[in-house]
Amino acid sequence: MEPHQVKVNGVPRVLAAGPQVSLLDWLRGQGLTGAKEGCAEGECGACAVLVARADGPDRTRWTAVNSCLPPALAFDGGEVVTSEGLGRAPGACTAEELHPVQREVADRGGSQCGYCTPGFVCAMAAEYYRPERRPAAAGEPAPDHGPNGFDLHALSGNLCRCTGYRPIRDAAYALGAPADGDQLAARREAPAPALRLTRFVSERAEFIRPGTLQELLDRLEQEPDAVLVAGATDVGVERNLRHSRPRLVLAIDRMEELRRLDVGTDHVDIGAALTLTEVEQGLGGRVPLLNKLFPQFASRLIRNSATLGGNLGTGSPIGDAAPVLLALDATLVLTSRRGDRPVALADYFTGYRRSVREPDEIIRAVRLPLPLAPSTAFHKVAKRRFDDISSVAVAFAARFDGAVLTDLKIGLGGVAATPLRARAAEDALTGTELTAESAAEAAGILAGEGTPMDDHRASARYRTAMLEQAMLRFYAESAPELEVIR
């Protein structure tokens, strides 16, 4: 078999590293020390690099990811660009040749200590090359967007402790379009690197990218302790911070059966191994409640790797997607050698990080019933607006007939060992007119749902209050429309 290999900054490099070696550590071991480890859990973005991802069958999209999380082997056959590859540093015998992104950051004082800078530059370059980026039409740019169409959320996963961010924002907002002859821009016009069915086997660990769903399910049945990896945004943290060392890693990031997005007449099926960014792009705003979720779900760097399957598979009691999907009345399509098994998300979680999923089962897709409830809201309570973990997350999906709530589903995160539906509050309000009084009463009921606890993110008391306030806010935000109806 051919050696594993990654094209880095245009040059193929042989990849001889086990599945426990992150892309970051491998790159640094290659002498490419531009990417840095700042946190090893995908929070700071100092390790960000660009990877070539498929943008449809014929094109490539430069996508920024945290290199500290995925195993290097996941990029076997792939193409990676680091800060070193974007431009050329001034050296003893060379003049500097900075990429436009690097030039703007350098000239505007966007680097001080410089440690986070390579990651910022890569995240900024991905947005620079985003094909949909267009200068704003006349008038005010969208919130968190520059006049050049730069979405500041592209940098929401990058932390800087020195600059206070203003010069970095100004650099981002000053970027023009890629010039003619820009090689990375040109690279977008050709297909992404071809899929490789990577097989790495050593005494202690295996990394397999199965070619078919059948092979995946077979392996999983034989070895139910195998770890499934798509973006590795959770597995990578487990490896780096909690030192988990799985014997078998099964990469599912290219598995076609898990990567379909089907919008039917009575439901939407979202492949479990699609990244959140891909889902966002694929849905194009057709599920408004998900559109409210996406910008608040971790950071762009994480959303470029993280999947709904991973988010639900880990069974986190917070995971912001779960409350939203609960409100949307989602069903999970579980698959094993025994076939498909749909399970309502509301029945999926059984305890802290536990679920009804059998060891040999995988989440194939998330199914949303249509038509969607027209009135929705997502309230995420966290310390920080960009890239933080919720202390409480509340999602609402409602149908009104006049001012009467005919259907209400409320998903909660962060207030119990699992995400849950707020059944008591839903029941209290369903079939009644939403008024200040009924909302206040329901707020009291909602506050009684779940079993919030004290931790470093928030007190139990605050969490309870946030449930109450979420209902009051839902009413306050619905009230102007209801007023018109009345």
Partner 1 sequence: MSALADRPANPAVGQTVSHESAALHVTGTALYTDDLVGRMRGCLHAWPVQAPHAHAYVTALHTEPASAIPGVVRVLTAADVPGVNDAGAKDDEPLFPREVMYHGHAVCWVLGETAEAARLGAAAVEVDYEELPSLLTLTEAIDAASYQGHQPVVARGDAESGLQRAPRRFSGTFEFGGQEHFYLETHASLAHVDESGQVFVQSSTQHPSETQEIVAHVLGLSNSEVTVQCLRMGGGFGGKEMQPHGLAAVAALGAVLTGRPVRLRLNRTQDMTLTGKRHPMCASWEVGFDDDGRLLALRATITSDGGWSLDLSEPVLARALCHIDNAYFIPDVEVHGRIAKTNKTSQTAFRGFGGPQGMLVIEDILGRCAPALGIDPAELRRRNLYAPGQSTPYGQPVRHAERLHDIWAQLSSRADVERRRAAVEHFNATHEHSKRGLAMTPVKFGISFNFTAFNQAGALVHVYKDGSVLVNHGGTEMGQGLHTKMRQVAATALGVPLDFVRLAPTRTDKVPNTSATAASSGADLNGGAVKHACEQIREQLAEVAARKLDTQPYNVRFVDGRVTSLGSTESLSFAELVHTAYFQRTPLFAAGFYRTEGIHWDAANMQGEPFKYFSYGAAVSEVEVDGFTGAYRFLRTDIVHDVGDSLSPLIDLGQIEGGFVQGTGWLTLEELRWDTSAGPGRGRLETQAASTYKIPSFSEMPEEFNVHLYERATESGVVYGSKAVGEPPLMLAFSVREALRAAAAAFGPAGRPLELPSPATPEAVFWAVQDARAAAGGRAVPATTPAASGAG
Binders of partner 1 in range 99-118 (CB under 8 A):
99, 101-103, 105-107, 109-118
Contact between 37 and partner 1 (CB under 8 A)? yes
Contact between 36 and partner 1 (CB under 8 A)? yes
Q: Is 405 helix (H, G, I), strand (E, B) or coil?
A: strand
Contact (Cβ atoms closer than 8 angstroms) between residue 410 and residue 394: yes
Contact between 29 and partner 1 (CB under 8 A)? yes
DSSP secondary structure, 88-148, as one string: B---SS---B--HHHHHHHHTT--SS-SSHHHHHHHHHHHHT-TT--PPPSSPPPTTB-TT
Least Å distance, CB 249 to partner 1, is 16
Q: Is 183 helix (H, G, I), strand (E, B) or coil?
A: helix
Contact (Cβ atoms closer than 8 angstroms) between residue 103 and residue 28: no
Which residue lies nearer to partner 1 by CB, 286 or 383?
Answer: 383
Contact between 315 and partner 1 (CB under 8 A)? no
CA distances from 84 to 27, 49, 117, 144 (A): 11, 10, 11, 28
Q: Map residues 439-478 to x or -, x wherever contact with partner 1 holds by CB under 8 A.
A: ----------------xxxxx--x--xx--xx-xx--x--
For the segment 219-238, give every residue that binds partner 1 (CB under 8 A). 237
Contact between 303 and partner 1 (CB under 8 A)? no
Which residue lies nearer to partner 1 by CB, 324 or 466?
Answer: 466
Contact (Cβ atoms closer than 8 angstroms) between residue 175 and residue 128: yes
User: What CA–CA distance (Å, rounded) separates 479 from 434?
Assistant: 8
Q: Contacting partner 1 (CB under 8 A), which of 6, 17, 40, 123?
A: 40
For the segment 369-408, give every residue that binds partner 1 (CB under 8 A). 379, 381-389, 391
User: What CA–CA distance (Å, rounded) separates 466 from 381?
Assistant: 8
Number of residues binding to partner 1, judged by CB under 8 A: 87
Least Å distance, CB 263 to partner 1, is 32
Which residue lies nearer to partner 1 by CB, 111 or 304?
Answer: 111
Contact (Cβ atoms closer than 8 angstroms) between residue 286 and residue 108: no
Which residue lies nearer to partner 1 by CB, 300 or 357?
Answer: 300
**Pick from 161, 168, 179: which is nearest to 146 by CA?**
168
Which residue lies nearer to partner 1 by CB, 180 or 203?
Answer: 203
For the segment 270-299, give every residue that binds partner 1 (CB under 8 A). none
Which residue lies nearer to partner 1 by CB, 404 or 462?
Answer: 462
**Pick from 377, 440, 380, 374: which is nearest to 406 by CA?**
374
Q: Which amino acid is at 20?
A: Q
Q: Contacting partner 1 (CB under 8 A), which of 24, 64, 152, 327?
A: 152
Which residue lies nearer to partner 1 by CB, 88 or 399?
Answer: 88
Least Å distance, CB 230 to partner 1, is 20
Q: Token pair 């490539």 is at which residue? A: 60
CB atoms closer than 10 angstroms to residue 348: 23
Segment lying near partner 1 (by CB under 8 A), choices 37-45, 53-61, 210-218, 349-357: 37-45
